[in-house]
Amino acid sequence: MVSDMAKRKPNIEDILIIVVVVALCAVAVFKFGVVNQEQRTFTALIDEVRMATVNALHEGDKIYDEKTGICLGTITAVKHEPFLKNVLLNDGTIQPVEFPDYYSVTLTIDGPVVEKDEGYFVDGVVEMKANSEMNVATKYAKPVMKITSISE
């Protein structure tokens, strides 16, 4: 015997549900689909860190976005210099002064970047903008980095 469900024809509600599900799948593929991923080099600055953090950043380490856990790329160069802070002097002028035991670190990172109309994205999710700050994590450190440039 054939059940009543097998004999029923699909009504307009069933067709609308199928159309909505297919449309949502198409939007998800369009939004998150990675089509033209390119290796790009970008530089980032980590300010006001101690020597322990400088020593924890190594060439060859992978660097991740702390919020999403997505790999931003691989560190290819680490340079550090004494951290300079602007100080107001007694005569009213501002002068950069070396802040003792603190350093500025410049990282060069190679990673897969997708260029869209809205900007640069890693894995189609994490947006990369010049002068934007993001919390990142490596195997040994969790600093806040500021992206200074993205190569073309």
Query: Is residue 38 a contact partner of residue 112, using CB atoms and an 8 Å limit?
Result: yes
Query: Is residue 120 a contact partner of residue 113, using CB atoms and an 8 Å limit?
Result: yes
What was the pLDDT predicted at 15?
Answer: 86
Mapping DSSP to helix (H, G, I), strand (E, B) and coil, where does residue 75 land?
A: strand
Confidence of residue 52 (pLDDT cuts 50, 70, 90): very high
pLDDT surpassing 70 at residue 2: no
Q: In whole angstroms, give the CA distance from residue 109 to residue 138.
A: 12
Q: Which stretch of DSSP H or E encloses residue 25?
A: helix 12-32
Q: Find tokens 């029923």 and name the residue.
A: 8
What was the pLDDT predicted at 29?
Answer: 73
Angle at 29 between CA 28 and CA 31, to 5 degrees: 65
18-36: average pLDDT: 76
29-43: average pLDDT: 74
109-120: average pLDDT: 86
Q: In whole angstroms, give the CA distance from residue 137 to residue 133.
A: 13
Task: Quote the tokens at residue 152.
Answer: 């073309």
